[in-house]
């Protein structure tokens, strides 16, 4: 895949930033607090926030869709326990990420109010919280479902915490591409919890989320590139420039939309799902083309809020928002078709195999 060699001006490295923060460089981003007061400042809401509940919601939803789409009779108790394990495992990974990234979170405007950089939750407590939840989620999954699902859950937690958070995020602009695998495991885990195996269809569900992640994340990065640049995180717009990022969003959009058609061919997705692929995918493509044709990410104006839109960045914001809606719609359709008995195969109607 050809990549533009356009680069942005170099910024301070993450290593230097981390050193500055240890010397008190984060004082402008978050007021220093007495560590002895942290526990008293923390509330249950802070520990919920550590688990990234909005991300967790999508993770559990796609996991449930994978469970429901599996070709076995639905056991509601098993499904409930499996989704609880996926939620707790995702929360464990999120808590570790917040603890490890507290230095750069303190610099970035959209993350500086998180519990660890503000001192409401000490990093060591967040690590312990993460470890206990990770262990509990994997053990419960193994006991309640099977070892395949438990193994996938354990690997997804390891991938997000070690491969993505500790290695990829700060070292390569491909961080979100490779690291996207961590968020793509839940439907595979749900499928495995129901069946005890990994199949072509569960791999297709993995591929859909994996290929969705770059255009989704880079659309946000285009209009929040100032945050990433200040923190020294080599997101694609910072490392390769906005023009290259817009091109790669277009390329990955084409790959993502091609992957969404896979379940139709294999018979996993029926007519309801196919409607979201065709109609919803057309709008996704249109928004990606708009981003490619725009100057999103070229400006470097100050950003005060997470969803503040700089001049020329509306196209990127629209794609970011719609990408969440489209992925949710696809998995909602699978859930409706297989969980509510609304499935009608497309390929049988067209004369192909189911």
Q: Is residue 8 part of a domain?
A: no
Mean pLDDT of 241-252: 94
Q: Is residue 1 part of a domain?
A: no
Helix (H, G, I), strand (E, B) or coil at 224: coil
Gyration radius of the chain over CA positions: 21
Question: What does the alpha-carbon distance between residue 272 and residue 335 come to, in Å, rounded to a whole number?
Answer: 10
- Contacts (Cβ under 8 Å, ≥6 apart) of 342: 270, 272, 336
Q: Is residue 136 part of a domain?
A: yes
Q: Is residue 7 part of a domain?
A: no
Q: Is residue 5 part of a domain?
A: no
The mean predicted confidence, pLDDT, of the chain is 84
pLDDT tens-digit map of 115-145: 999 999 999 999 999 999 999 999 999 999 9
- pTM assigned to the model: 0.82
Copy the structure tokens of residue 58. 């999508």
Question: What does the alpha-carbon distance between residue 312 and residue 8 come to, in Å, rounded to a whole number?
Answer: 18
pLDDT tens-digit map of 3-56: 333 333 333 333 343 344 334 343 344 444 444 444 446 788 888 888 988 889
Count of structural domains within the chain:
1
CATH of the domain at 27: 1.10.600
- H-helix segments, the chain: 14-22, 35-41, 44-50, 53-69, 76-100, 102-105, 123-144, 147-158, 169-171, 175-184, 186-195, 200-223, 225-231, 236-239, 242-260, 262-266, 271-275, 281-293, 314-339, 346-350
194 pLDDT above the threshold of 50: yes
Cβ atoms of 313 and 296 within 8 Å: the answer is yes
Q: Is residue 291 part of a domain?
A: yes
Place 164 in a pLDDT band, splitting at 50, 70 and 90. very high
Q: Is residue 6 part of a domain?
A: no
Cβ atoms of 282 and 289 within 8 Å: the answer is no
pLDDT at 138: 98
* Domain residue limits at 262: 14-350
Q: Is residue 310 part of a domain?
A: yes
Give residue for tokens 């297709």: 204
Residue 270 burial by CB count (10 A; 0-12/13-18/19+): exposed, middle or buried? buried
Place 332 in a pLDDT band, splitting at 50, 70 and 90. very high
């Amino acid at each position: 895949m050809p990549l533009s060699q356009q680069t942005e001006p170099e910024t301070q490295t993450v290593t230097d930033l981390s050193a500055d923060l240890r010397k008190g460089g984060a004082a402008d981003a978050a007021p220093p607090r007495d560590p002895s007061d942290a526990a008293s400042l923390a509330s249950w809401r802070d520990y919920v926030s550590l688990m990234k509940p909005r991300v967790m919601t999508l993770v559990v939803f796609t996991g449930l869709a994978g469970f429901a789409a599996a070709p076995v009779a639905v056991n509601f108790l098993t499904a409930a326990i499996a989704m609880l394990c996926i939620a707790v495992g995702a929360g464990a990974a999120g808590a570790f990420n917040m603890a490890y990234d507290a230095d750069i979170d303190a610099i970035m405007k959209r993350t500086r109010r998180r519990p660890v950089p503000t001192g409401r939750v000490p990093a060591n407590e967040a690590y312990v919280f993460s470890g206990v939840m990770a262990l509990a989620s994997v053990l419960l999954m193994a006991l309640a479902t099977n070892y395949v699902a438990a193994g996938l859950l354990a690997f997804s937690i390891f991938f997000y915490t070690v491969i993505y958070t500790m290695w990829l995020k700060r070292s390569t602009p491909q961080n979100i591409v490779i690291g996207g695998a961590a968020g793509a495991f839940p439907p595979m885990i749900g499928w495995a919890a129901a069946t005890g195996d990994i199949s072509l269809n569960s791999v297709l569900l993995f591929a859909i989320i994996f290929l969705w992640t770059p255009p989704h994340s880079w659309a946000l990065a285009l209009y929040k590139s100032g945050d990433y640049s200040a923190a020294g995180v080599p997101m694609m717009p910072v490392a390769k420039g906005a023009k290259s990022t817009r091109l790669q969003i277009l390329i990955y959009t084409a790959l993502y939309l091609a992957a969404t058609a896979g379940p139709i061919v294999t018979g996993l997705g029926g007519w309801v799902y196919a409607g979201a692929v065709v109609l919803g995918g057309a709008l996704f493509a249109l928004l990606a083309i708009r981003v490619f044709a725009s100057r999103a990410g070229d400006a470097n104006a100050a950003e005060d809020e997470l969803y503040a839109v700089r001049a020329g960045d509306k196209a990127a914001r629209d794609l970011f928002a719609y990408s969440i809606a489209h992925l949710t719609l696809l998995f909602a359709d699978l859930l409706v078709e297989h969980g509510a008995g609304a499935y009608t195969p497309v390929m049988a109607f067209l004369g192909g195999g189911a």
